[in-house]
Amino acid sequence: ALYIGCQNTALPKLHRQFMQPLQVGQKRPPLESLKQLPGATEIAFNELQLYVFWSAECPPCVIEFDQFHRWLKHNRPEIQVTAIAIQGNSSSWQADKQAFDSWKHLIDTRSWEGEVARDWQVTLLPYFVLTNASGTITSTFSNTQALRQALER
């Protein structure tokens, strides 16, 4: 099933309008905002990497991730996944992240106002950015169905 994601309504509409989406072929945003989050030292950022932006408070994220996590673990285990929660409350995240045990997990409790959401141009959850080992963006997606189809090729 395809779900409509959770939009960043905290950003004024005018501000969202001027955010430039990440483009395939460009270098990923600088990693400084991610490296400042608790747990980031355990992550190797120089591999085939899928950055997953989500929230445990976003029902479409949790619903879509359950099947996608199992599929990815079985079909594409070489892809390192870093799941970054964009949410102010960490209690639901602590419980929900356990279901996605093969992923590395970070949380930006500054939510939509944080540097991570701004640097990575996150305006909708879930949001996926796939990069190669040199950090070049190879794909971006807003749902697991499209992402899965691309990874099956």
Q: What is the pLDDT of residues 93-115, one digit of tens each?
A: 888 888 888 899 999 988 888 88
pLDDT at residue 50 tops 50: yes
Confidence of residue 19 (pLDDT cuts 50, 70, 90): low
pLDDT score for 15: 44
Could you tell me which residues come within 8 angstroms of residue 74 by beta carbon, excluding any fewer than 6 positions away?
Answer: none
* Residue that wins the pLDDT comparison between 42 and 64: 64
Q: Is the pLDDT of residue 36 over 70?
A: yes
pLDDT at position 20 is 65
Closest CA to 52 of 18, 25, 43, 152: 43
Asked if residue 114 lies in contact with residue 47, where contact means CB atoms within 8 angstroms, the answer is no
- What is the pLDDT, as a whole number, of residue 128? 93
pTM: 0.84
Per the omega criterion (within 30 degrees of 0), is the bond before 77 cis?
no
pLDDT at 6: 60
pLDDT above 60 (res 1): no
Closest by CA to 85, choosing from 76, 77, 75, 95, is 95
